[in-house]
Amino acid sequence: MKSAIEQLSTYKSVHLNPKNIRTHFVGVPMIIWSIFTLLGCLRFQLSTIEFSAAMVFMLLVLGYYFILHAKLALGLMVFIIPVLLSSNYVAVETSHPLLIAISVFVIGWGIQFIGHKYEKAKPAFIDDLNQLLIGPFFLMAEVYFLLGWQQQLEQDITPLARDKRRALEAKLR
């Protein structure tokens, strides 16, 4: 499994433009919320306990994040719990949860692609589908960096990201 530094530097290599990063702070949470809403519509009963596919997905993804970087995973847990609760509410309590989720999903991806127009680089997941899971992880890292936390991690990933970007641009010439 690739390290957090490798995963984040690969993701950051196509997310160096501040406008692109800002669009991701809107688009990625919308996409996450919509996926959780869709998965929240899939409900299961185990004895007297009801749960959703979103709950299972959350546990699996948070487990992956904890393996990569426990401190970033804690921040993601703080973010994901309200996402899970609000998306569960929409999945269970509204009359058209699929329409709502699909609409938010499409808008979120539209915002993402606008960001990549600023970046002039394709999204990271085009070459590595695992990068779809790294988007939220990357944004949490960016929040930590803005707060002055995990500065060594930022110093580790940023030069690697720039090197990867230069190599990608040289390959395209």
* Secondary structure of residue 49 in the 3-state scheme: strand
User: What is residue 127's predicted lDDT score, i.e. its pLDDT?
Assistant: 85
How does pLDDT run across 121-173, given as a tens digit for each residue? 888 888 888 999 999 999 999 999 999 999 999 999 999 999 999 998 888 87
Taking residues 74-91, what's their average pLDDT? Answer: 97
pLDDT at 70 over 90: yes
How does pLDDT run across 83-96, given as a tens digit for each residue? 999 999 999 999 99
What distances in angstroms separate CA 49 from CA 45, 88, 154, one per listed residue? 6, 15, 42
User: What is residue 136's predicted lDDT score, i.e. its pLDDT?
Assistant: 97
Angle value at C-alpha 6, between 109 and 12, nearest 5 degrees: 40
pLDDT at 114 over 90: yes
In Å, how far from its chain's centre is CA 65?
Answer: 11
Question: Lowest-pLDDT range, 2-11, 20-29, 102-111, 114-123?
Answer: 114-123
